[in-house]
Structure 1
């Protein structure tokens, strides 16, 4: 029996006349029209020589057609590789060299340039075929869904590469089907759900969650080209679900229009891709009466943990492992007792297959008994609830003491006027690593007294945890899904304890 994800997402809905996707401009596409568009795009990919198992890379703007292209690749048994639309040609050169796609789908305005740079006998650069439902044209051939097994590749997503060379994680039809089915049940998705979609579609969050879940139940997607707080809040009057990242919740909270009335129709707000601060968790609850459901996942494991839909959603916790997923906390090769911080490891049907062209890296990230090392430090309560302490690579060892940046950031974020904080370790002549904190004011008019902030931290943290230097910046470097790129901050401030003059304190 085939386990092609396309069957789960579209097989039962492909004849429906209900709207599947609606754009901000008001363009609507029904499920039957979307299925027809999928067949048209699959025909174009096939005409370019793409065959089951071939890789199809895409660097196109977010649109109904970008969803149709993703579905067409699934239906045809092709391996979909979404690319960040901000990538330069030099960045694309790495990804194309690593992934060896058979087809590169691009925006029409970039086709000539990309064709000259990348087209070969083995790589065709194409744009999506024109589509005008009002104009007469040839009848679209309906393509059968290609048989796929659970271990067959459905997509390759490249990790952000914030700490090194990007790795292509091969995600299978089986893991995506399992994850979609599990989350539909966990979060009670139905055909009545309407999701406000503001996330990029070249990441797992915006593609595998915010697209797969509503399509799997015959729901509706309100597709926004990009995030804008005011249009997002306006859409809540028609939506039931919003999936966001902490940065987006900060921007929503900055709008005076965000209140309980604006969110009255909504049933679920989720947050992931980066830690959500308790300050923003509490503020959102106070303003809207809605409790954000924080969950935890990663490209290589899709979703690992989730706070319960019905039950306590606790700030700072990512909830419990999904049914069927095993998590453990390990340190120095041994499983940690409840409450002890260690490396979070995961095993289950949600895992990726391997890293493309990097067998040594795949082996390095897996344990002998099949657990994936997430790279995240965490602790687990006796009842199974998981709390993320931070990235292992971000752990600071200052004067022989372990310092967890997230613990300090949680304190700094509660100081009046602080909109965001980042704590890093940089070389120190005495402590080996010195703790410094970079804070961003809540607004351009906000002024933060760094001496007062230091005193605030000393009252709430053990002395070895208190940052030895505080800095104020207009913004922090982040990825497209809001993760702070601490490697850039470390590089920027690595000489702060050896400089004779500093802009901080």
Structure 2
């Protein structure tokens, strides 16, 4: 009697070969536009470029299955070339955020130990400040001019480089914020991106005719999560180097964009742009807000134009997409009435809401911690087994760390974080990380960082500082300079409040709630 095969670990030809399989089905369909360079690619073009880049990585870069490539680029077609090539040859793509400072990036590089490092010329000064680990054997510098170091990859002799891979094989290393000073690196297997794409296609309806604008940066899983389902379905995606509300309106009009996503701050910037009232948005059939709850105020200008805005929810560890308010068969006003909800879970995803202390399911209408379980769970944190055990629970559940409540209609709403982390402009921010940096400054005796409401970014960090006896001069200016040197801009506190003491609870722990009320008064 033959042994039952394990399809999660079985190597199959199609896994990772998104470009090759789609090109075989629809070679001449338009697939990608890099709007800044006006590079237009069919599915056959995408596959040919992926084969050339993959062949170069094997032949000249000395990379193989399981090796990692770190990239620091904006949203441009070369990043997509590497994504598709990595899928073919089994290397692991590890995008790094250009918003981070050298201190933060060096920590990630040391843990990832990449075999190759690819970066864009606009980040030359940032890259020069990095301490690349000895593992880096190949460096490639992308540029738009004649000195484009990526060009040899695109003219390398083409051959089919696809190798059989398993669903469990790692595809991406995605870094994400955490509740300590050390960022987490999520291992994203092929299984996760595959099943998430299927869930997005099934939940959102056919995507083959969708013309999508990708607004999320490709150093976040949200960027790849926007691209992959539409690519799987044979749709059309447009890349812009970075978010610019005026360019968004231009691309919508010029390319007949039907869908795009964005965090609350992005949607606000678009609606506030001077051209928004006159822009032709007739092609847009829907907008998805993600990253953090979006306010009704920000959605209203789009509703007024007859465009439904729905909230989605997910996290790198369990999604990237897990919930979406569907509403595709509902009237605009019905969708609008539910605009604070993330709806229910996607078809291939279980969820439960449990009591934070007991772990038992709560009743409808009660707030608890949201857990999720699906075939698109992540593969753990790179080199951090203790953190992995805290996130991956028994029976396949992932602890989101988010508080949620389910109403009588079955719709779920996110209520906040169960820990101290918060979201500012779509970016995860850890108060403890900022506190660690501030405590290194000689003027700081004690510090606590809390999230405060902000009209533009949703929430922003504010630091309460007890100065040392020897502190002098302009403390706020000194601390701001110190933070800008060591932290990404979105983590730098918007305000530094000098206080005599930090409030504590009866157990002697920092009382962040009391401090937040004190700073808000």
Q: Same fold (TM over 0.5)?
A: yes
The reply to whether residue 23 of structure 1 matches residue 34 of structure 2 is yes
Q: 2:139 aligns with which of 122, 125, 128?
A: 125
Question: What residue in structure 1 maps to residue 473 of structure 2?
Answer: none
* Aligned counterparts, 1:88-107, within 5 A: 88-107=101-120
Distance in 2 of aligned mates of 1:289 and 1:260: 14
Distance in 1 of aligned mates of 2:15 and 2:90: 10
The reply to whether residue 274 of structure 1 matches residue 292 of structure 2 is yes
Post-superposition offset of 1:493 = 4.3
The reply to whether residue 35 of structure 1 matches residue 39 of structure 2 is no
**CA 53–258 in structure 1, closer or farther in 2 if over 3 Å, else same:** same
CA offset digits 1:72-107 (Å, max 9, x no partner): 111111111001123444333211110111111223
Question: What residue in structure 2 maps to residue 225 of structure 1?
Answer: 241
Question: What residue in structure 1 maps to residue 361 of structure 2?
Answer: 335
Question: What residue in structure 2 maps to residue 213 of structure 1?
Answer: 229
CA offset digits 1:268-309 (Å, max 9, x no partner): 2111011101222233212x1112021101111111111113
Q: 2:84 aligns with which of 71, 80, 87?
A: 71
Query: SS state of the match for residue 40, structure 1?
Result: helix
Q: 2:70 aligns with which of 57, 62, 66?
A: 57
Post-superposition offset of 1:437 = 5.2
CA offset digits 1:448-487 (Å, max 9, x no partner): xxxxxxxxxxxxxxxxxxxxxxxxxxxxx9xxxx9976x9
**CA 484–188 in structure 1, closer or farther in 2 if over 3 Å, else same:** farther
The reply to whether residue 324 of structure 1 matches residue 338 of structure 2 is no
Query: SS state of the match for residue 13, structure 1?
Result: helix
Distance in 2 of aligned mates of 1:116 and 1:388: 38
CA offset digits 1:348-396 (Å, max 9, x no partner): 112101100000111112322321110100011244311100111249x
Distance in 2 of aligned mates of 1:304 and 1:483: 29
The reply to whether residue 181 of structure 1 matches residue 213 of structure 2 is no
The reply to whether residue 300 of structure 1 matches residue 317 of structure 2 is yes
The reply to whether residue 84 of structure 1 matches residue 97 of structure 2 is yes
Question: What residue in structure 1 maps to residue 391 of structure 2?
Answer: 365
Query: SS state of the match for residue 75, structure 1?
Result: helix
Question: What residue in structure 2 maps to residue 285 of structure 1?
Answer: 303
Which structure has more RCO (C-alpha within 8 Å, separation ≥ 6)?
2
Superposition CA RMSD, Å: 3.7
Question: What residue in structure 1 maps to residue 499 of structure 2?
Answer: 495
Post-superposition offset of 1:230 = 1.8
Post-superposition offset of 1:5 = 4.7
In the superposition, the TM-score normalised over structure 2's length comes to 0.73
**In 2, are the aligned partners of 1:157 and 1:204 still within 8 Å (CA)?**
yes
Post-superposition offset of 1:222 = 1.9
* Aligned counterparts, 1:167-206, within 5 A: 167-206=184-223
Query: SS state of the match for residue 280, structure 2?
Result: coil
**CA 386–438 in structure 1, closer or farther in 2 if over 3 Å, else same:** closer
In the superposition, the TM-score normalised over structure 1's length comes to 0.75
Question: What residue in structure 2 maps to residue 463 of structure 1?
Answer: none
Post-superposition offset of 1:30 = 2.3
Distance in 2 of aligned mates of 1:483 and 1:330: 35
**In 1, are the aligned partners of 2:260 and 2:288 still within 8 Å (CA)?**
yes
**In 2, are the aligned partners of 1:338 and 1:379 still within 8 Å (CA)?**
yes
Query: SS state of the match for residue 182, structure 2?
Result: coil
Instruction: Count the aligned residue pairs.
Output: 427
Post-superposition offset of 1:195 = 1.0
Post-superposition offset of 1:61 = 3.1
Distance in 2 of aligned mates of 1:363 and 1:503: 36
Question: What residue in structure 1 maps to residue 12 of structure 2?
Answer: 2
CA offset digits 1:319-348 (Å, max 9, x no partner): 101112111111122110111001111111
Post-superposition offset of 1:503 = 9.4
Post-superposition offset of 1:139 = 6.5
Shift >4 Å, 4+ stretches: 108-117, 433-442, 482-485, 496-499, 502-505
